[in-house]
Amino acid sequence: MKTQLQTLLGLELPIIQAPMAGVQGSELAIAVSAAGGLGSLPCAMLTADVMHQEMKTIEANTDKPYNVNFFCHKTPEVDEAREAKWRGLLTPYYQEFGIDASQITAGASRAPFNHELADVLESFRPTVVSFHFGLPEKALVNRVKSMGAKVLSSATTVKEAQWLEANGADIIVAQGVEAGGHRGIFLSEDTESVDGRAPKYSVSTQIGTFALLPQIVNTVSVPVVAAGGIADAPGIAAAINLGASGVQLGTTYLLCDEAKTSAPHRAALNSDHAAETTLTNLFSGRPARSMVNRIVSELGPMSDWVPDFPMASTATAPLRAKAEASGSGDFSPLWCGQNASGCKAIAAGELTRKLAAGLGSDSFI
Amino acid sequence: MKTQLQTLLGLELPIIQAPMAGVQGSELAIAVSAAGGLGSLPCAMLTADVMHQEMKTIEANTDKPYNVNFFCHKTPEVDEAREAKWRGLLTPYYQEFGIDASQITAGASRAPFNHELADVLESFRPTVVSFHFGLPEKALVNRVKSMGAKVLSSATTVKEAQWLEANGADIIVAQGVEAGGHRGIFLSEDTESVDGRAPKYSVSTQIGTFALLPQIVNTVSVPVVAAGGIADAPGIAAAINLGASGVQLGTTYLLCDEAKTSAPHRAALNSDHAAETTLTNLFSGRPARSMVNRIVSELGPMSDWVPDFPMASTATAPLRAKAEASGSGDFSPLWCGQNASGCKAIAAGELTRKLAAGLGSDSFI
């Protein structure tokens, strides 16, 4: 028996590969889609041209359902005072690495979904278009729907799930606090700066999958996908017991052959570091789950002085580049959820089929 | 088919009622044990005499298995400087309520397990003796075991679970971050004060049930009990899918007739407040999950200046008493996990039987 999600999307397996900007492109998406899951292309850090090329590659390599993912934040003005404080905190590191910080200009590292990107989408047939941080303006949601794509977004609270359903989401991801990468938070009272400090984004009240998932399932009528802490077939079965119509796995795919995960990131995933992750705003300005590395332990995990999302990574980029050049992830976002036990350095299609085979009979779905 | 936990304890149902100091006594424990679960008596805030009386009451009313629970912290010296800073933060509240703070002496609100309490245990036959914050010294663990009781303690990380197994625990609770009340943290690097500030207890890296439970199950060989975010039969089934041998539910019992939950606490559980909980050290000095109320939002959730556990509640006790006298929970610990959806204002035995009936056939256990 297929879940509501599988029926809606024509999906062989109830498995979505989480879009992970910066660590994967079309290659991972193709592998997962070809194996019967829903592969995802993260577009938040792509230009329109690269996105066009990546989508062409996907459609040339598979005719199975796939997902393209966008962020939908508002790009803020540069806060000069906070930027200066942030640079001040980074100065000892610039000195250590011999970096001339005066050459670094402030700017955004990620672009929100807009009409230019929607124009690119028109030439393709993605099954799902997904968003993080809520939904874009109504006109953009309508454009996506008119292309025949289903709209997916993530909720970190029951209220966010209700808002998403009321505003046109066809599928809702219940993103438990275990999940790696960016929290999808968008209705917090703490998304604005107060007294010139970085927003807190309600980090302290974020909810675990076990509690969040059934409460969202009981509130909305669209299919709900569980994300956060799921790493194997028993995890998928447990999520379905709690009412999920499918699962979204990110961390589990990070060691796959087709992922672009960096060498230091792969090494950290294979080490004890993977047992200690935290929500940190240091890498982008918004809370995201990363392993604890040097910059997180020395300046974080949450800093009052980090620039607003997505302006925070410009000033750290040269530090990250220098460190990575010598094999160190001390300044890199080491995205990782709270359960890295399912990571395998194999082909993503094989991993997807293993997850599905482990589900045993169809009886529980 | 019974789980390993049920077999070990001779338990009809794989359900443990979480010990909740301050909001319940023997009455709740008796009701749950009589219904086939494992009722628990929290002893952290009881004198030896009261504990003796409560255990007498339990054994007079049920011959089913039951659990007595203790904290096993070290009582610290008063840190005069921090105590003074803390009183300073509370001064506006003392003024608002007309409280003479000079009459309040610093002191501990909870006592650790010791030989005097072990003496009391000797006269009774608890099936389980459980501990929070690790285990007491070896001699005390041995005394408990020689009485024939099984030893249970909670782990918040895989490392803590390994330590507990190596040091004699017969059953381990995997306490996910969703759980209400005190985190069982005991192996964090942050359990000590640095620069005169309150310990941080690794709050930012605490792990959700969905991620913690299977990783502990895969590491230890004793039965593992899932705690945190479980509120109904599908939740119990999901936990068992993830390898749990049973579940521990606290929040779900808070509205039961036999619980001593205060009126403001009950009102909050029945309101939207239950959707917003956080880990806070304000009520005891250690992180514990409570609903967000006035003191948490104004001084917390984590304060650098709160006295060490368990010295923090003495100074707030008169504020709490004054507020509660007028029906307000502004200064009370409003313990609550991240899933209050299972709370029902019915008899605890009935609730336990409903949970068990909802499990359907025995097939999954």
pLDDT digits (tens, 9 = 90+) for A209-267: 999 999 999 999 999 999 999 999 999 999 999 999 999 999 999 999 999 999 999 99
- A positions 128-157 inside 8 Å of B (CB): 157
B359, closest residue in chain A (CA to CA): A241
DSSP secondary structure code for residue B1 in this structure: -
pLDDT digits (tens, 9 = 90+) for B236-272: 999 999 999 999 999 999 999 999 999 999 999 999 9
Contact present, B225 and B16 (Cβ < 8 Å): yes
Length of chain B: 365
When pLDDT is cut at 50, 70 and 90, the band that residue A364 belongs to is very low
Please tell me the number of Cα atoms within 13 Å of B123 on its side-chain side: 15
B202: alpha, beta or left, given left = phi > 0 and alpha = psi -120 to 50? left
Which CATH number fits the domain that encloses residue B300? 3.20.20.70
Instruction: Report CB contact under 8 Å: B210, A218.
Output: no
On average, the pLDDT of chain B sits at: 95
Instruction: Report CB contact under 8 Å: A208, B204.
Output: no
Give the per-residue pLDDT at A344: 97
Give the per-residue pLDDT at B360: 62
Q: Is A113 exposed, middle or buried (0-12, 13-18, 19+ CB in 10 A)?
A: buried
Q: Point out the residue among B235, B277, B302 whose CB comes nearest to the CB of A210.
A: B235
When pLDDT is cut at 50, 70 and 90, the band that residue A360 belongs to is low
Q: Which of A5-9, B29-33, B98-102 has the lowest mean pLDDT?
A: B98-102
Convert B209-236 to b/e letters by CB count within 10 Å (16 or more is b): bbbbbbbbbebbebbbbbbbbbbbbbbb
DSSP secondary structure code for residue B235 in this structure: H
Give the per-residue pLDDT at B365: 41
Instruction: Report CB contact under 8 Å: B228, A235.
Output: no
Give the per-residue pLDDT at A106: 80
Asked whether the CA dihedral A164, A166, A171, A172 is positive or negative, the reply is positive
Residues B45, B51, B53, CA angle at the centre, nearest 5°? 140
- Residue B364 pLDDT more than 80? no
Name every chain B residue with its beta carbon within 8 A of the beta carbon of A157: 275
Q: Point out the residue among A210, A239, A242 whose CB comes nearest to the CB of B178.
A: A210
Q: Is A72 helix (H, G, I), strand (E, B) or coil?
A: coil
pLDDT digits (tens, 9 = 90+) for B303-351: 999 999 999 999 999 999 999 999 999 999 999 999 999 999 999 999 9
Dihedral of CA atoms B228, B231, B237, B243 in degrees, nearest 10, equals: 10
Q: Point out the residue among B158, B159, B210 whose CB comes nearest to the CB of A210.
A: B210
Parent domain of B177: 4-364
Higher-scoring residue by pLDDT: B315, A362: B315
Chain mean position to CA B159: 20
Contact present, A227 and A176 (Cβ < 8 Å): yes
- Residue B222 pLDDT more than 80? yes
Q: Point out the residue among A158, A210, A231 whose CB comes nearest to the CB of B229.
A: A210
- Residue B137 pLDDT more than 70? yes
pTM listed for this prediction: 0.96
Instruction: Report CB contact under 8 Å: A210, B276.
Output: no
Question: What are the structure tokens assigned to B86, written together?
Answer: 């803390």
Q: How far apart are CA A145 and CA A133, in angstroms?
A: 18
| Domains of chain A: total | 1
Instruction: Report CB contact under 8 Å: B210, A157.
Output: no
- Residue B362 pLDDT more than 50? no
Instruction: Report CB contact under 8 Å: A238, B234.
Output: no
